Amino acid sequence: MLIAGNWKMYKGPAETAEFCLALRDEELGGVDVVVCPPYVSLAVAVQLLAGTEIAVAAQNVHWEDEGPYTGEISPPMLRELGVYGAIVGHSERRQLFGETDETVALRTRHALAAGLFVIACVGETAEERERGEMEEVLRRQVSVLDADDNLVVAYEPVWAIGTGKTATPEMAQEAHAFVKSLLDVPVLYGGSVKPDNAAELLGQQDVDGALVGGASLEVDSFTAICRAATRS
């Protein structure tokens, strides 16, 4: 069971240090835990979580080692910092910054080749679900990925990201089982995961963990989700 906290554009180095120092003292149970701070906070997170079982991942990564790509960060740069992995293809990257299935594939392949662990995100919008296109969208998004020991997929229905809406456990199970029928990798659920719904979501047969957004920003709520995963 893997619980990853995606901090999005929150927590500079000072807040990250405070969070990591508190997280080190928490009992997280027998789950794998990853925190994903903004780029500027990766170094302090790596430093303060060294020697623990908590990994640090970036929120994105480029598909080249170096070059004229203003604003991008490469896999070797992340490796040099001691970063464990990266999220790729988050719905906010797709919707707000023009990420495509093709660029998700490029980022994923290059990151894996560089030795990074990758959480590749897939999921349908509210409109696509209403049109009955969930499976078609997931099939297209998953088709660009290849199974790898260092790859997990995160199913995040776009309509449940930052909206407070959450897929029912049955909806999550259905989507996860479908993704696994396409690609033999663990599948995390992402979409308004909170301490009060985590146990039921994580108790589904094909849910292998969670990609947590807002609830990962507070130590208490994040650790509560980790403990819920231990019981699932």
Distances (CA, A) of 80 to 57, 62, 73, 76, 188: 13, 15, 12, 6, 27
Q: Quick check: 131 and 161 in contact, CB under 8 A?
A: no
Report helix, strand or coil for 109. Answer: helix
Work out the angle at residue 197's Cα, subtended by the Cα atoms of residues 15 and 12, and round it to the nearest 5 degrees: 10
The set of catalytic residues is 90, 156
Find the DSSP H helices in the chain: 13-24, 42-49, 75-81, 91-97, 101-113, 126-130, 134-142, 169-182, 195-202, 219-231
Maximal C-alpha separation, the chain: 48
Amino acid identity for residue 58 in this structure: A
Q: Quick check: 88 and 121 in contact, CB under 8 A?
A: yes
Dihedral angle, C-alpha 203, 84, 101, 93, nearest 10 °: 90
Amino acid identity for residue 198 in this structure: A
